[in-house]
Chain A
Amino acid sequence: MTKTILVGCGAGFANDRPDAALRLAQDLAQRSGQRYIMLELLAERTLAEAQLRKRLDPRSGYSARLFDFLEPMLEICIEAGIAIITNGGAANPRAAAQRLRDELAGRFPALKIACVLGDDLLEETPPRYERWLSSSADEQPVSVSVYTGADGIVQALAEGAGIVLCGRVADPSLAVGAIRHGLGWKADDWQKMAVATAAGHLLECCAQVTGGYFAHPGMKDIPDPANLGCPIAEIHQDGRLIIGKTRNSGGRVSEQTVKEQLLYEVHDPRRYLTPDVVLDLGVAHVQDLGNDRVEVTGVIGHPRPDTLKGLAGMRGLWFGEAEISYAGPGAVARAALARDILLERFDRLAPGVQPWIDLSGVASLFNDQAGRYLRKQLAQVPLLEDVRVRIGLTHTDRSLLETLLAEVESLYTNGPAGGGGVRRHLAEAVTTRSFLLPRDEIHTALEWY
């Protein structure tokens, strides 16, 4: 029998569900063989937000909910020998490791906690990132990171880490690191790296492969959709890859769920660029094995790119939204009038600032900045009796946005009849900019806690 390892994913983004992650850990603890849990807790902007928290408190800066996931599963995983690998170290893996040690308070002294460092280009002195990133004067970088591959994770696991805390490692690399360690696959075995990266790609959004972002009643039904299980990849030494999920959980793993996730956020399916391999899905095939197990075959690997992707988060922009609703007879006409009033007022108060305006019910999700889709929908004279006017604005001048958002609230007393339910909020917007840099400029390093 060939060796088989299991990699489960307990989180697919920063605000995923810790209770599902705990059930994953409990399930994996009952299984045998080498097992790993990955927790993917970053998005493009969360890293910049983490850097801002770190500035305020040097003991902070890891993923805000990292410990909501780690605490419940920690003892189960340590006792069962399940390694945990996460990018939830975010902007400050060291602080996360230190807090973890503090919380363990002397228990599990043999546990080795590794931080994988080297992705944070803002931390470097002198900074090198300006060689690769061009920014304008009104933008202030708050995070500059590089998407690293699996090398640091493999090294940490090989040196005995039970918990691996990374920053901006590429999402699928969390699994690639586990698989390379578990099966001894070489980094330049491109075919094997394709299998490992396909596994990581299918796992990285967690429930999106087990029935999340999927259900459509009557067309694509999902059992027990409030309790979706976490995905578990079985990877065999010979390169077989099977996706399953937590036992006795809701959701479904089917050809449909796997196919949708296999192509998720992919552009050219023959060239999906990752730090570990160029993944070719052009002749990939999926087959339902029954019992929520789906096998993926036919993925092809090409040598990894010579460049890595960097991502900078910039400050300097504010994002504001405000809403008011109209209901009952003539709701659409009154909401459209509110829109006209706002456009005239904004034109006077802030010429050149074009607000995004939706009439939810008529057009919102499919709408656009110029309101082309909204006008198209309004031309069909929709019969609706509950319409919400929403404006969205970005600007570098916070006080100007305050003034403009107040215009929506002033529709209470100045606007069409029966306007109610105003809500508004204003927050700093972090914008991101990606860039490429030569791979050989980046060297990850480990620190132990």
Chain B
Amino acid sequence: MSLVTLADFAHARAGDKGNILSIAVFPHDPAHYPWLLRELTCELVAEQFATRQPSRVHRYELPNLKALNFVLEDALEGGVNRSCGLDRHGKSLSYLLLALRLPGPED
């Protein structure tokens, strides 16, 4: 099966609280929500963020908003307070998620 890049089918925004990263993901086409629900699993997201070694990845489903909200615990290298990195808030990390390659929607 041919793979697509998530960024071509969805948009996302990252937020931080301490060492917890949250990323809300939305399909550009609302009709793609069931596809997103099926393909964008916690396991896939955990794999994409493996180098950040999150202690827990949780997915919240919002069928009305046609959104998935991912919460990655301990994924911010200490967060805005402790991290020595460039992006201590993790503001850019929505695009690490959107860089995911996954099987495309049927249509």
Chain A residues engaging chain B, CB cutoff 8 angstroms: 44-45, 213-214, 216, 219-220, 256, 259-270, 281-286, 298, 319, 355-356, 358, 360, 364-369, 372-373, 376, 390, 392-394, 429-432, 434
Q: A219-B7, A263-B13 are in contact. Are A269 and B60 (CB under 8 A)?
A: yes
A282 and B86 within 8 A (CB) = no
B81 and A368 within 8 A (CB) = no
Q: Which of A220, A365, A430 contacts B86 (CB 8 A)?
A: A365
Q: Enumerate chain A residues within 8 angstroms of B51, measured Cβ to Cβ.
A: 366, 368, 372-373, 376
Q: With the chains together, A372 CA to B77 CA distance in Å? A: 12
B65 and A263 within 8 A (CB) = yes
Q: A256-B26, A367-B85, A390-B86 are in contact. Are A262 and B11 (CB under 8 A)?
A: no
Q: List 17 A-B contacts (CB under 8 A).
A: A45-B80, A259-B67, A260-B11, A263-B69, A264-B24, A265-B22, A267-B17, A268-B71, A298-B64, A364-B86, A369-B78, A392-B84, A393-B84, A429-B81, A431-B81, A432-B81, A434-B18
Q: With the chains together, A264 CA to B67 CA distance in Å? A: 12
Q: With the chains together, A85 CA to B69 CA distance in Å? A: 31
Q: With the chains together, A45 CA to B96 CA distance in Å? A: 26
Check: B101 CB closer than 8 A to any chain A CB. no
- For residue A372, which residue of chain B has the nearest CB? B51
Q: Which of A266, A366, A431 contacts B15 (CB 8 A)?
A: A266
Chain B residues engaging chain A, CB cutoff 8 angstroms: 7, 11-13, 15-18, 20, 22, 24, 26, 28, 50-53, 60, 62, 64-65, 67, 69, 71, 77-78, 80-87, 91-93, 96
A260 and B24 within 8 A (CB) = yes
A260 and B26 within 8 A (CB) = yes
A266 and B69 within 8 A (CB) = yes
Q: A365-B86, A432-B81 are in contact. Are A266 and B65 (CB under 8 A)?
A: no
A266 and B85 within 8 A (CB) = no
Q: A269-B62, A390-B86 are in contact. Are A263 and B67 (CB under 8 A)?
A: yes
Q: Which of B24, B78, B85, B93 contacts A263 (CB 8 A)?
A: B24
B87 to chain A, nearest CB (A): 4
Q: A264-B13, A369-B85 are in contact. Are A44 and B80 (CB under 8 A)?
A: yes
Q: With the chains together, A219 CA to B29 CA distance in Å? A: 12
B11 and A256 within 8 A (CB) = yes
Known contacts A266-B15, A298-B64, A394-B84; can you find 15 more A-B pairs with CB under 8 A? A214-B13, A219-B7, A265-B15, A267-B17, A267-B22, A281-B65, A358-B85, A364-B85, A365-B86, A365-B92, A366-B93, A368-B51, A368-B77, A390-B86, A393-B84
A387 to chain B, nearest CB (A): 14
Q: With the chains together, A285 CA to B63 CA distance in Å? A: 9
Most buried by B among A45, A319, A368, A434: A368
A262 and B80 within 8 A (CB) = no
Q: A368-B77, A369-B84 are in contact. Are A263 and B18 (CB under 8 A)?
A: no
Q: With the chains together, A283 CA to B62 CA distance in Å? A: 7
Q: With the chains together, A232 CA to B7 CA distance in Å? A: 30
B64 and A284 within 8 A (CB) = yes
A392 and B85 within 8 A (CB) = yes
Q: Enumerate chain A residues within 8 angstroms of B16, measured Cβ to Cβ.
A: 265
Q: With the chains together, A57 CA to B88 CA distance in Å? A: 30
- For residue A390, which residue of chain B has the nearest CB? B86
Q: Enumerate chain A residues within 8 angstroms of B77, measured Cβ to Cβ.
A: 356, 368-369
A207 to chain B, nearest CB (A): 13
Q: Enumerate chain B residues within 8 angstroms of A285, measured Cβ to Cβ.
A: 64-65
B62 and A220 within 8 A (CB) = no
- For residue A314, which residue of chain B has the nearest CB? B81
A150 to chain B, nearest CB (A): 21
Q: Which 9 A-B pairs have the closest CB atoms?
A: A392-B84, A265-B15, A263-B24, A356-B84, A372-B51, A365-B92, A373-B51, A260-B13, A431-B81
Q: Enumerate chain A residues within 8 angstroms of B67, measured Cβ to Cβ.
A: 259, 263
B7 and A259 within 8 A (CB) = no
Q: With the chains together, A219 CA to B60 CA distance in Å? A: 25
- For residue B26, which residue of chain A has the nearest CB? A259
- For residue A208, which residue of chain B has the nearest CB? B13
Q: With the chains together, A266 CA to B15 CA distance in Å? A: 8
